[in-house]
Amino acid sequence: MATFFKRKATVVALAALSLTLAGGGIAAAAQAEARPQPGARHSTAQPPVTAAERQAARAAMRATLAPPAPGQVAWAVVSANGTLLQHSGNVVSSLRFVPGPGVSAGQYQVLFDYDVSAKAYHVSIGTNDSANVPPGGEISAAPRTLTPNAVFVQTRNSTGGFADRPFHILVAN
C-alpha cells in the first residue's frame, strides 16, 4: 500500500509542477500581448482612387509607346513631396497623397504607361542630392488599387510612424 501512495504522490507532484509551468507560460504570454508594442503599425489601407486619377491612368495607358522589353526595368527617383526627380521613359508621373481623412503621411502613387500589376517592384529610401545620404526609414510597395498601371508606395520613419520620405522605385519586367 505504501508503494501505491508513493507513486500517486509522485504523479500528483509532477502534475502540479506541469500545471504551474503551463500556467506561468500562459500568464507571461497574456502579459506580452497586453503591452503596447514599440513602433506599432497603423492601417495600411490605400487612399481611394479618385475619378481624376482613373482618367489620368487611362490616358497614360493609351499613350504608351511600348512597355520595356523582358529583362529591362522602369525606374524613378521621387522626392519626399512627391515630385518626380529622375525617371525612365515609361514613368508618367508621381504624386504624394495629401494627408487627411483616410490618408496618412508618406503615401505615394507612381504612374506608368503600361500595366505593372503583375511585375516585381523594388523600392528603397533614397535621394538624389549631392550628399547621397537618405533619411532613415522604412518603405513598402504594392499594386495600386483599381489602377493596373500604378504602384502604391508607403514610407515610414525609423520607429514605424507614417512619414514623407524620398525614394527610388524599380519595376522589373
pLDDT in tens, 108-164: 999 999 999 999 999 999 988 887 788 899 999 999 999 999 999 999 999 999 999
Entry pTM: 0.74
Least confident of 8-12, 15-19, 30-34: 30-34
- C-alpha cell at position 31: 502579459
pLDDT score at 44: 64
